[in-house]
């Protein structure tokens, strides 16, 4: 290109130069606008598929990536290829976790903070609560839920097909045996129609998830939630898997380990289906348990009670239903090759309510809504090692009229208000076993944390469970309902 030198001698030369500069500026601006448009389209096209997998009553120490006894090679590969979430908090019971996950809001805000929605319950997740399925569907996702719903079945308004899911396959109330038979009526649905099936529920759900992935049409991202009832219903595990754990002497523990392996095999089938469709690289997979492993309790709660311990919650105290770490700190991972680096270990606390905001953010869905969320976007924490944006690094673990727990930074407060009252303060970072109660040593810290817990209590909706006519036994008031061993 010939250089043009401005000498100041000619008005014509000056005008030509000005015109040339204006033309170049317009051309550059047009190129930049096109590049920006392309970038926007690229971001839109890169919205990940989302596969969200829930285990039922899985112990913290019952996965290979936590050096557990049950064999979980597929989960171990996902953890190694992505992020282990070592301070992931769920709720103490199944329905609570599902509700918090789907809404991004603490269950105490809408009355689901006590136990779970049981087979005889007449309530569910309130219809006015927005779910991530509904939000992602509105942004263009195709949405499916397979597995245990547990968020209301007495009214169709509670059902998954009314809460943003295009497709549903599984059990609404959880009242389905792990081994289904066509000659026995069961709580099993496809869409809104009850059906009869033959087979092991975990394998049926895996097959359905694989079918959804295989049939998924290009042009829209996929949201698939797979909520298994294993290993909670461990007594239905295939005999061949049970026999593969002959070295475990206890029958119940042997069946439990087999159920964990069955769950892992189901996860492997889902991941393989994603690989075959060349979808794995652009899929965010989230896996965690709905609460800690179940433990025997002195009084029956009617929610997955067991007679002997089968799960392993590692160093953590107690288990399912408890506000101690064994009840709410669960095995979890996130895998997304396009975004999350392999061998990532996240030690910052993440709460299940964070998943709502996280999924809406990566899925390009609107976060604007009437009811405030309690979660935050966790991807910067998981993928970039950034600090959590949770205000005050605060997580409400649960609150009811008779007890509550909150974690703020490295400290955790548990309050038992049923007589005799009990106040416990633990420095979780140095005492994950919750062995040393430091309430007497730090009274000012207890007072400050208690104030925050009380502020939440004033926002608490009445627990629907306690007013449910389908529930006769209400042991949740009894603080004596502690582990039998």
DSSP state of 178: S
Instruction: Please report the pLDDT score of residue 41 as a whole number.
Output: 31
Is pLDDT of 234 > 90?
A: yes
Is pLDDT of 167 > 80?
A: yes
Instruction: Please report the pLDDT score of residue 32 as a whole number.
Output: 43
Cβ neighbours of residue 115 closer than 8 Å, sequence gap 6 or more: 93, 95, 301, 302, 303, 321, 465, 476
* Residue 445: burial class (beta carbons within 10 Å; 0-12, 13-18, 19+): middle
Tens of pLDDT, residues 195-214 = 999 999 999 999 999 999 99
Instruction: Please report the pLDDT score of residue 19 as a whole number.
Output: 41
Dist. CA 449–CA 407, nearest whole Å: 8
pTM of the model: 0.89
Dist. CA 219–CA 16, nearest whole Å: 49
Question: Which stretches of 283-401 are DSSP H helices?
Answer: 325-328, 354-362, 379-384
Instruction: Please report the pLDDT score of residue 17 as a whole number.
Output: 38
In the chain, CATH 3.30.1120.10 covers 396-477
CB-facing half-sphere around the CA of 352: CA atoms within 13 A: 33
Instruction: Please report the pLDDT score of residue 407 as a whole number.
Output: 98
Distances (CA, A) of 243 to 135, 247, 255, 256, 440: 45, 9, 9, 12, 51
Crossing angle for the helix pair 251-276 and 73-80, to the nearest 10 degrees = 50
Is pLDDT of 36 > 50?
A: no
Mean pLDDT score, 413-423: 91
Q: Which pLDDT band holds residue 15 (cuts at 50, 70, 90)?
A: very low
Structure tokens at 226: 């797979």
Tell me the percentage of the chain whose pLDDT exceeds 90. 80
Are residues 108 and 461 in contact, defined by beta-carbon separation less than 8 angstroms? Answer: yes
In the chain, CATH 3.40.720.10 covers 48-391
Q: Which fold has domain 396-477?
A: Arylsulfatase, C-terminal domain (3.30.1120)
Query: How many other CB atoms are found less than 10 A from the CB of residue 456?
Result: 18
Is pLDDT of 27 > 90?
A: no
Instruction: Please report the pLDDT score of residue 75 as a whole number.
Output: 98
Are residues 42 and 282 in contact, defined by beta-carbon separation less than 8 angstroms? Answer: no
Mean pLDDT score, 156-183: 96
Mean pLDDT score, 260-271: 98
Mean pLDDT score, 3-13: 35
Q: What is the CATH number of domain 48-391?
A: 3.40.720.10
Tens of pLDDT, residues 281-305 = 999 999 999 999 998 887 777 777 8
């Amino acid at each position: 290109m010939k250089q043009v030198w401005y000498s100041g001698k000619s008005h014509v030369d000056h005008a030509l130069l000005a015109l040339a500069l204006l033309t170049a500026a317009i051309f550059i601006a047009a190129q930049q606008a096109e590049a920006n448009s392309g970038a926007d389209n690229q971001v839109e096209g890169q919205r990940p598929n989302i596969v969200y997998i829930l285990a039922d009553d899985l112990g913290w120490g019952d996965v290979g990536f936590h050096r557990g006894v049950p064999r979980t090679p597929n989960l171990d590969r996902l953890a190694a290829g992505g992020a282990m979430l070592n301070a992931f908090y769920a709720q103490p019971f199944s329905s609570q976790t599902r509700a918090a996950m789907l809404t991004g809001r603490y269950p105490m805000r809408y009355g689901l903070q006590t136990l779970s929605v049981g087979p005889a319950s007449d309530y569910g997740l309130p219809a006015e609560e927005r779910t991530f399925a509904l939000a992602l569907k509105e942004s263009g996702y195709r949405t499916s839920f397979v597995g245990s719903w547990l968020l209301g079945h007495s009214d169709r308004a509670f059902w998954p097909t009314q809460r943003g899911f295009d497709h549903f396959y599984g059990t609404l109330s959880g009242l389905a045996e792990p081994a289904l038979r066509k000659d026995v009526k069961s709580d099993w649905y496809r869409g809104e129609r009850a059906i009869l099936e033959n087979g092991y529920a975990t394998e049926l759900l895996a097959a359905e998830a694989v079918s959804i992935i295989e049939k998924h049409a290009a042009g829209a991202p996929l949201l698939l939630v797979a909520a298994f009832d294993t290993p909670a219903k461990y007594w239905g595990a295939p005999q061949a898997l049970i026999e593969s754990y002959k070295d475990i002497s206890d029958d119940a523990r042997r069946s439990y380990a087999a159920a964990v392996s069955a769950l892992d095999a189901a996860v492997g089938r889902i991941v393989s289906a994603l690989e075959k469709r060349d979808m794995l690289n652009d899929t965010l997979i989230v896996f965690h348990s709905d609460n800690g492993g179940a433990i025997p309790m002195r009084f029956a709660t009617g929610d997955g009670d067991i007679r002997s311990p089968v799960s392993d919650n590692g160093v953590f105290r107690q288990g399912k239903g408890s506000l101690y770490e064994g009840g709410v700190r669960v095995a979890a991972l996130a895998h997304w090759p396009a975004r999350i680096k392999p061998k990532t270990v996240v030690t910052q606390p993440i709460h299940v309510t964070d998943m709502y905001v996280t999924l809406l953010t990566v899925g390009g869905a609107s976060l604007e809504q009437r009811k405030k969320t309690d979660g935050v976007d966790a991807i910067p924490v998981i993928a970039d090692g950034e600090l959590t944006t949770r205000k005050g690094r605060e997580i409400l673990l649960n609150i009811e009229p008779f007890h509550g727990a909150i974690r703020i930074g490295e400290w955790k407060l548990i309050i038992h208000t049923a007589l005799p009252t009990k106040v416990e303060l633990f420095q979780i970072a140095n005492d994950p076993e919750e062995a040393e109660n430091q309430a007497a040593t730090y009274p000012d810290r207890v007072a400050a944390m208690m104030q925050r817990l009380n502020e939440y209590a004033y926002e608490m909706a009445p627990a629907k469970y306690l007013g449910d006519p389908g529930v006769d036994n209400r042991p949740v008031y009894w603080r004596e309902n502690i582990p039998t061993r």
